[in-house]
Amino acid sequence: MLLSSFAVFLVPFVSPGEPVRSLLRARMDIGAADEATVQAYAQQFGLHDPMLVQFGRWLGRFVTGDMGISHISGTPVADQVLPAIAVTLSLAGSALLVAIAVSIVLGVISATRAGSWPDRLITSVTHALIAIPEYALAPLLVLLFAVRWSLLPSAGFDSPASLVLPVFILALRPISFFTVAVRSGVRQALDSEHVLAARARGLSSTQALVRHVVPHGLLPLWTMVGVWFAGLLGGSVIVEVIFAIPGMGRLIFDAIVDADIPVAQGGVVVVVACAVLTTGIIDLVHKLSDPNVRIGVRHG
């Protein structure tokens, strides 16, 4: 845990590069950035101090909620990051809920009818889904649903309808990985002895499925959901850019394009912190929920 938090702090530490130069490159032509201007800016933002001093100062302020001032807009970074993280949380959360629901259905169908045509179809589809470049699919769907049929808004983040396409696209890749996880988990559970015992006690196959197989078979899914949740928090860059959604991914992307280092740092650190936090929580939940892990037996 100590180690991972150290690595977290290393990320923004290595990112500044040449702050002043890139800042000026963003605001004016490189040629116009004479030495005096550079010095003035550097003085203003305290960028002359040794890196470690800057790092310590920044870290100290960061933990108290002061993430610095945006180089571009001059407003506090926290004021930009907090609304953005709320937007992304709802986006990633909805996408994961959709993915979980779809993958449980698909995974259970696929596992209980292994080798049949529905199983083969589902397997093919899951392999196809991960290969879709969302930056090609998204504009095409916008073209169909927003332009041709006028069913859904093409971009923005103001109504439930505006969430449909982004959530759908974000859910595609998790659906494939989740489905495979559910499928293998359920198949393993189907073969396990306590399911056989339940059947022997006289439970019908449906009862055994609902009560014993599915809950047990979903264990690998929950681990995955955590990892994906963390990943989606910043990984929705593409979808947020395409659909003009004011979330974390877009904030970080814009900040990097504009060389707005405080915003980029703040955003990335928040995303990383969320990632570490979620993996920690999942680890804990996993330990508490699985008796094998709880008593220290390794999962086969």
Which residues here bind other proteins, judged by CB under 8 A?
Answer: 3-4, 7-8, 11, 14-17, 22, 123, 126-128, 130-137, 139-140, 143, 147, 176-177, 180-181, 183-184, 220, 223-224, 227-228, 230-235, 237-238, 241, 249, 252-253, 256-257, 259, 264, 268, 271-272, 275-276, 278-279, 282-283, 286, 298-299
Q: Do 100 and 226 meet the contact criterion of CB atoms below 8 Å apart?
A: no
Its sign, for the CA torsion 133, 136, 139, 140, is negative
> Closer to other proteins at the Cβ: 162 or 176?
176
Q: Is the Cβ of residue 153 or residue 220 nearer to other proteins in the bound state?
A: 220
How far apart are CB 179 and other proteins at their closest, in Å? 8
- Give the nearer residue to other proteins in terms of CB position, either 13 or 45: 13
Q: How far is the CB of 99 from other proteins (least distance, A)?
A: 13
**Token pair of 235 as six digits:** 């990984």
> What whole-number distance in Å separates Cα of residue 59 and Cα of residue 52?
10
**Smallest distance, Å, CB 207 to other proteins?**
27
Interatomic CA distance for residues 221 and 224, integer angstroms: 5
Report d(CA 232, CA 235) in Å as an integer: 4
- Which of 198/235 has CB closer to other proteins? 235
What is residue 148's DSSP assignment? I
Environment class of 291 (CB within 10 Å of its CB; exposed 0-12, middle 13-18, buried 19+): exposed
Q: Which is nearer to other proteins, 83 or 231 (CB)?
A: 231
Nearest approach, Cβ of residue 201 and other proteins (Å): 29
Q: Please identify, using beta-carbon distances, which residue of 27 and 199 lies nearer to other proteins.
A: 27
Burial of 189 per CB tally in 10 Å (0-12, 13-18, 19+): buried
Smallest distance, Å, CB 160 to other proteins? 25
The residues that bridge with 76 in the sheet, in sequence order, are 69
Cβ neighbours of residue 97 under 8 Å, at least 6 residues apart?
none
